[in-house]
Amino acid sequence: MVIAAVYFVIATSACVSLARSLDRQMEGPRLRAAWAGRTAEARCTGVRTDETQDADGIPVTVSHATLEFRTEAGRTVAFEERRRQLDVAEGDLVTVYYAEDAPEGATAQAPAFGTRRARELVAGLGCAFALVTAAVLAGVL
């Protein structure tokens, strides 16, 4: 029983740590702040194209749009969309999401359940799996 309890504590800690790491890697805090803030119409002022190769050596073209918008306070902000490849041309209008206190962290990525709740899903499912395996361990040992 003690071994199962120790396992449960360690596995739960690992799940929570993994969830936090995944959330930071997916830029969860910045995106949630932007989605909870304001929206604005942004104009594409340019598109930068990078050509790289994937792991198999196949050429891959990735384009990043530079978007410019005006906040409700009247401040003009320009940023390069780094989370998502947009299919826009120079001069096109795009809806952007930004936090009032940090408009530089804006994104054109629309709110998505998976990105918004990834941390909670990973931690919750991991902890549930840890509980089930701890119960099986307690029954076996």
| Joined tokens for residue 33 | 């702040």
- The pTM for the full model equals 0.70
Condensed to tens digits (0 to 9), the pLDDT of residues 86-127 reads: 888 899 999 999 999 999 989 998 888 877 788 888 899 999
Across 70-86, average pLDDT: 87
Give the per-residue pLDDT at 117.
83
Give the per-residue pLDDT at 55.
87
Amino acid at 69: F
Give the per-residue pLDDT at 63.
85
Does the pLDDT of residue 132 top 90, yes or no? yes
How far apart, in whole angstroms, are the C-alpha atoms of residue 8 and residue 134?
A: 6
> Contact at 8 Å (CB) between 72 and 98?
no
Give the per-residue pLDDT at 135.
92
> Contact at 8 Å (CB) between 81 and 69?
no
Give the per-residue pLDDT at 26.
76
How far apart, in whole angstroms, are the C-alpha atoms of residue 66 and residue 42?
A: 9
Condensed to tens digits (0 to 9), the pLDDT of residues 113-124 reads: 877 788 888 899
